[in-house]
Amino acid sequence: MLPFITFEGIEGSGKTTQIQQLVRQLRHQGYQVRQTREPGGCRIADQIRSILLHPDNTALVSRAELLLYAAARAQHVEEIVQPALSAGEIVLCDRFTDATLAYQGDGRGLDRNLITQLNQLAAGNCRPNLTLLFDLPVAVGLGRARQREVDQQDSSEGRFERETLEFHERIKAGYLALAAAEPERFQVINADQTPEQISRQITAIVDNFLQVKTGAA
Ligand code: TMP
């Protein structure tokens, strides 16, 4: 089975641009690639996404937020991720279970054991083989994300961009702790570089991973 690769990081870390670049590159190398994201990736999970990210939903309580992420994930895994992996595709997913540990765990302060159980319920045996963590200063990432919202004139998402710097600092620290706990799965990328520099680093990591783990050329 080809790998399941996830991309994680705080807001504005440049993940999406890099995923698109990697998809083009891997397809050029002849791989079948499925690009997806959480929350979302399929119709029902996209509907849940709009509830989760709409800036007007300030009344959403943390436990409801956690359950909605889990619901979106259960649908997405069964409908998209698992079938793609079974069909021999490389799956590149923008955020997955680690985001719930970082955002709902470190960010909101919800119980980690409970989150792990819900992640297990939603994702089953579907676990990332490689996780690229985009790390950069919170002020830089949030600045980029808030500017993007203004540039795109899109007011349908952005609930998390309105959270405090401290909230996002906890998430960044949470992600780095997850990476330190599982160094064989995580690769931490310095995302405070040019897109070209970041892309070169990712290419090297993924090429090496595909060679070592799958014996692919
Ligand atoms: P993004 O797709 O633009 O990265 O937005 C997704 C947002 O949802 C982002 O702020 C992180 C947040 N999130 C969680 O809080 N928990 C989760 O489990 C996931 C997947 C995302």
Question: Which residue CA neighbors atom 18 of ligand 1 most closely?
Answer: 100
Q: What is the pTM of this model?
A: 0.96
Cβ atoms of 112 and 105 within 8 Å: the answer is yes
Which two three-digit tokens encode residue 193? 């570089």
Q: Which of 105, 103, 132, 148 is nearest to 201 (CA)?
A: 132
Per-residue pLDDT tens digits for 153-174: 877 888 998 999 999 999 999 9
Query: To test the ligand 1 pocket, which listed residue (17, 61, 103) has its Cβ within 8 A of the most ligand atoms?
Result: 103
Residue type, 94: D
CB 52 within 8 A of CB 39: yes
Q: Which of 42, 160, 163 to mutate to test the pocket of ligand 1 (most atoms within 8 A of CB)?
A: 160
Q: What is the band of 180 on the pLDDT scale with cuts at 50, 70, 90?
A: very high
Q: Do 102 and 63 touch, CB atoms closer than 8 A?
A: no
Residue 145: count of CB within 10 angstroms of its CB: 18
Does pLDDT of 188 surpass 60? yes
Q: How far is CA 158 from the centre of its chain?
A: 16
Confidence of residue 14 (pLDDT cuts 50, 70, 90): very high
pLDDT computed for residue 215 by the predictor:
66
Mean pLDDT across the chain, nearest whole number? 95
Give the pLDDT of residue 110. 98
Residue 216: pLDDT band (50, 70, 90) is low
Q: Which amino acid is at 163?
A: E
Q: Ligand 1, closest atom to CA 69? A: 18
Q: Which residue has its alpha carbon closest to ligand 1 atom 3?
A: 11
The amino acid at residue 129 is N
Mutate to test the pocket of ligand 1, among 49, 95, 168, 175 (most ligand atoms within 8 A of CB): 95
Whether the per-residue pLDDT at 201 is higher than 50: the answer is: yes
What are the residue ranges of helices labelled H in the chain? 15-28, 43-53, 62-76, 82-86, 97-99, 112-123, 138-152, 165-181, 195-214
Cα 87 to ligand 1 centroid, rounded to whole Å: 27
Q: Which residues are bridge partners to 187 per DSSP?
A: 132
Number of domains the chain contains: 1
196 Cβ contact list (under 8 Å, min separation 6): none
pLDDT in tens, 65-101: 999 999 999 999 999 999 999 999 999 999 999 999 9
Q: Show the domain range for 34.
A: 4-214
Q: How many CB atoms lie within 10 A of CB 81?
A: 25
- List of residues 6+ apart from 190 with CB closer than 8 A: 135, 136, 198, 201
pLDDT of residue 217: 47
Ligand 1: list residues with CB < 6 Å: 11, 37-39, 53, 69, 94-95, 99-100, 103-104, 160
Looking up residue 145, the CATH number of its domain turns out to be: 3.40.50.300
Q: Which residue, by CA, sits nearest to atom 15 of ligand 1?
A: 103
